[in-house]
Structure formats: structure tokens, C-alpha cells
Amino acid sequence: MADRAKLISILSPVFAMRRSLIPILIIVCAFVAFPPILRDFFPLNLPTAQFVAHNSIRTPTDFTFSDGSARKLTLDDFRGRFILVNVWATWCRPCQEEMASLNRLALLLAKKDIKIVPISIDVSGAETVRSFYKRLGLNNLSIYVDPAKNVMDALGITGIPTTILIGRDGREIGQMVGPAQWDAPESVKHIREIAGQ
């Protein structure tokens, strides 16, 4: 009986400590789980897409990037149609916030003469982008990667996300720095007007 009382006296502080950790664990779990839930019920108010048009003709410097199959590409591979180049990364929070709307825009423009080319600058390449797409259900966007970040110099980009609209002739029409609500009616109208669609 004395042994049992001794054991209880030893274990009582342990159980008391475990009980005091429960509120802390609940708070930590709330901080981890609550932001994504909030975003589902209260979507972010991203600005509509507004490209800053260039006064002079700008032709992007040639650079290479890869698709999801490691096939090398250049922007010339898309020549003859409008290209919406979105430079982003999976670790970039503003990029993450706009990707779902860019995915919906790709569906809206599927039958138009506009190709969306989201080029990730993630150092880890296509596998990271593939798992990111899967996690967010981004099924309308193709995978393009440039781990060497050649796209940054070639298009004169200093921050991400940056989106550049390139004409059928390969010349840059305009760009937008920062995230946007790409599938908003005003954004879609703006893009289609610039591209004459």
C-alpha cells in the first residue's frame, strides 16, 4: 500500500504537467490549422490584373527552361500565340495565393489563343512543383521550371510573382508585378482586350 502511495506521489506531477500541456497543444494546433480554414471561408482580396504597357518595343532575351518531362524549351516554342508568362516559386506566399486563380484562368482561356506559362524558379525543380500542384488541385496548368533563374535576367524581373504578356511576335506587351485575381471578370476582360481576343 505504501508503494502504491509512493508511486502515485511520483506520477502525480507528471500527470499534472501533461494536463497543463493540453491547452498549449490546442493553441499551437489552432495556429497551424486556422489560417487555411479562414482562407477557405474568407478568400483573399487580390487585385485584378492590370498590365503596365511599355512605351517602347521590348523583345525578351532568349533563355531556356524545362517542362515537367525535363524537355528544354524557349519562348520561341510558343511563338504565334499570346503568352502569359508567370514567374513564381512554391515558397513565395503571394505566388501561392494567386495560383488557384491562375489555374481557373487557364481553364477560361483554354480555347483562346493565349497560353499560360507559369515558370517556377524553385531550385528543387519539377518534382516540387508537381507535388505543389497536386496538393492545391492545380490541374489546368502545365509544369515549367527554371532552377537556374535565367528567366529573371532575361525578362528583367526583380521580384516574384511577376507576370508578363508577350505577343504573337515574341515582343513584350506589358507586365504586372505582384499577385492578382486572374480569374476575376475584370482581369479576364483586360487580358482579352490587350490580346484582341
Per-residue pLDDT at 75: 95
Residue with cell 508537381: 130
Residue ranges of the alpha helices (H) in 56-183? 93-108, 126-136, 150-154
| Cβ atoms within 10 Å of 48's Cβ, excluding its own | 16
CA triple 109-112-113, angle to 5 deg? 120
pTM as predicted? 0.75
Contacts of 44 (CB under 8 A, 6+ apart): 97
- In the chain, the amino acid numbered 93 is R
Domains of the chain, residue spans: 1-42, 52-194
Block mean pLDDT (10 aa), the chain, length 197? 57 53 55 48 67 73 93 94 96 95 94 93 95 96 96 93 94 92 92 80
pLDDT the model gives residue 3: 60
Question: Partners of 116 in the beta sheet?
Answer: 84
Give the C-alpha separation, 193 to 167, whole Å: 13
Q: What phi, psi does 3 have (nearest 5°)?
A: -65, -40
**163-176 as b/e, with b when 16 or more CB fall inside 10 Å?**
bbbbbeebebbbbb
One-letter amino acid of 80: G
* CATH for the 52-194 domain, from 3.40.30.10, 1.10.1520.10, 3.40.50.11890, 3.30.360.10: 3.40.30.10
User: What pLDDT is stored for residue 132 in this prediction?
Assistant: 97
Query: Helix H segments across 42-184?
Result: 93-108, 126-136, 150-154
